[in-house]
Amino acid sequence: SAVISQKPSRDICQRGTSLTIQCQVDSQVTMMFWYRQQPGQSLTLIATANQGSEATYESGFVIDKFPISRPNLTFSTLTVSNMSPEDSSIYLCSVDSGGNIQYFGAGTRLSVL
């Protein structure tokens, strides 16, 4: 299993500003994932973060809006840039541990005013 620390746990931000979410894993992992979960909805994959290379973004998500860093095998950040109220959501990081099982962080609950 993997233990994931994600912060902040929640934030309230003004539109036009940016927020960086951090994700720390207790073991080295190759792939880290960033998801968005809007209230009452399913999980939508934003991007896959691989150490040493640029993140791979899913359709509908772009690097300018959601820049991702992956400086080492235990850490990643997701920035939500130039926020608008539509970005209000829960953002979750996860890792793919042994056996293709995904472990999730506790999530960041973002409200944009």
Within 72-91, the residues that bind another protein by CB under 8 A are: none
Provide φ and ψ at 85, rounded to 5°: -55, -30
77 vs 102 by CB, closer to another protein: 102
- Shortest approach of another protein to residue 31 CB, angstroms? 10
Within 10-39, the residues that bind another protein by CB under 8 A are: none
* Ordered alpha helix ranges (H), the chain: none
Q: Which residues in the chain belong to E strands, given as ranges?
A: 4-7, 10-13, 19-25, 31-37, 44-50, 56-57, 68-72, 75-80, 89-96, 102-104, 108-112
- Residue 3 sits in the site that holds another protein (CB under 8 A): no
74 vs 105 by CB, closer to another protein: 105
With contacts defined by CB under 8 A, how many residues of the chain interact with another protein? 17
Q: Out of 14, 42, 64, 85, point to the residue binding another protein (CB under 8 A).
A: 42
Within 49-68, the residues that bind another protein by CB under 8 A are: 59
Residues 6+ apart with CB under 8 A from 44: 35, 36, 37, 38, 58
3-class DSSP assignment, residue 73: coil
3-class DSSP assignment, residue 85: helix
- Shortest approach of another protein to residue 106 CB, angstroms? 5
Chain contacts with another protein (rule: CB under 8 A): 40-45, 59, 92, 99-107
